[in-house]
Structure 1
Amino acid sequence: MIKTLIFDFGNVFINLDKEGAMANALELFKIEEFPEELVAMNALYEQGLLSTEEFVDFYSSNFPELSKSDIIDAWNHILCDFPVRRLEFIQQLARDKKYQLILLSNTNALHIESIDKHLSFYEDFKACFDKFYLSHEVMMRKPDATIFDFVLSENNLKPEECLFIDDTTENTEAASTLGFNVWNNNPKTEDIIDVFTLKREFF
């Protein structure tokens, strides 16, 4: 029996343009693919192991022809719209009090700062959750087992009583190996508001 719903943020609630952001960055940085060093630095930033200043300075030193605002704009290019229907969905779940609601997101300070600035209902959204875990704040990130174990321990949960929802296969596979029920949602064809219809086998 599912007692706790654990949601990713990007491509579950807020839409992301991963492909467009990557294409934009490759063109801006004049590279054909991201070298491992940049990928590693991005992961460190998501994990809260680099400050925003250190992160932007790293990119500035590697791409001195670009301004810091160019770099920040490119980093935030991935963020798209947040349909109000999804806010209404999570607000209704919060009112119903049938499930414990947890958000578990790989994100970073720049993205959250941009969302907070441009999304008028961000605080209302946060208020719907019993716990709101952002990778750069807890200094862990998916798909590492440590972050899932942390959520289980912090909330005294059993993985078989949780449904974890994420658009990244690597993350849902990691959670599944730990005993979680999972839904690897496809943001192009599926919407979180339809979870009880699309995944009725869990309920």
Structure 2
Amino acid sequence: MQNIQNIIFDLGGVILNIDYTLTEKAFQSLGITNFNELYSQFHANDLFNNLETGKIGEDDFIKELKQYVPINITESQLKEAWNAMLLDFPLQRLQILQQLRNHYRLFLLSNTNAIHLAAFNKILERDRSLPSLGVFFDKSYYSHLVGMRKPNKDIYEFVLQENGLNPAETLFIDDTLPNIATANELGIQTIHLQAPRTIVDIFKPKG
């Protein structure tokens, strides 16, 4: 950390606990027994990519999902199933962010969508009485709002240029290897965070 002036954090799996299997189970309970198959298909036909880059909104996304579920399933049930993967914000992680703000410029860079943004802000409000993660960061970048997503280079370059960040003085923390690889290509310092290790383990005081 000697030369680091800036830290860019991923959200899911780094600050927010997530479990994708819970969304799979939630959709199965709605009658979608082949959710994994559909999930792969939606990736292949760019549905999720378009959702995460803001090319389609939540209404279009839900409309697409409705084609694959029993007719009696409501929009709110679909959203609830889609959000099932979002768990909690461990207090220690938020405390670490608060401490780091005194020493570094902090940024959030997340592949997400409008449905999840509203949901995890509600979790944060409910559990920590905070309206958004903005209190911890100089700036937050959500893929669906900027029209770009990781691991494409353009979103990293956008964050670097908009904030005048030197890649060599910038640390990026993410739990997904392709996202780390792109950052490395641009000269950004990286940590590939893998469970059970957390940001608390990385930044807790030595001794």
TM-score normalised by the chain length of structure 2? 0.86
Q: Paired residue for 2:162? A: 154
Alignment of 1:43-192 (within 5 A): 43-65=49-71, 66-94=73-101, 96=102, 98-120=103-125, 121=128, 122-123=130-131, 125-186=133-194, 188-192=195-199
How many pairs align? 196
Match status 1:15 vs 2:20 = no
Query: What are the superposed Cα offsets for residues 104-142 of structure 1, whole Å, 9 maximum, x if unpaired?
Result: 001111111112223224436321211111111111100
For 1:92, the aligned partner's letter is Q
For 1:58, the aligned partner's letter is E
Query: What are the superposed Cα offsets for residues 19-48 of structure 1, whole Å, 9 maximum, x if unpaired?
Result: 332344356422152365412211211111
Q: Paired residue for 2:38? A: 34
TM-score normalised by the chain length of structure 1? 0.88
Structure 1 position 64, deviation (Å): 4.6
Query: What are the superposed Cα offsets for residues 121-169 of structure 1, whole Å, 9 maximum, x if unpaired?
Result: 4436321211111111111100000100101110111211111000111
Unaligned runs of 5+ in 2: none
Q: Paired residue for 1:196? A: 203
Structure 1 position 197, deviation (Å): 5.9
Q: CA RMSD in A?
A: 2.0
Unaligned runs of 5+ in 1: none
For 1:196 and 1:76, the matched residues in 2 are separated by 29
Q: Quick check: 2:171–2:191 contact (8 Å CA) kept in 1?
A: yes
Q: Quick check: 2:173–2:192 contact (8 Å CA) kept in 1?
A: yes
Q: Quick check: 1:87–1:125 contact (8 Å CA) kept in 2?
A: no
For 1:62, what is the secondary structure of its paired residue?
coil
For 1:51 and 1:7, the matched residues in 2 are separated by 25
For 2:47 and 2:188, the matched residues in 1 are separated by 29
Q: Quick check: 1:26–1:33 contact (8 Å CA) kept in 2?
A: no
For 2:20 and 2:81, the matched residues in 1 are separated by 12
For 1:123, what is the secondary structure of its paired residue?
coil
Q: 1:116 to 1:138 in 2, by over 3 A?
A: same
For 2:108, what is the secondary structure of its paired residue?
strand
For 2:197 and 2:143, the matched residues in 1 are separated by 25
Give me the identity figure in percent: 36
For 1:158 and 1:103, the matched residues in 2 are separated by 16
Q: 1:56 to 1:123 in 2, by over 3 A?
A: same
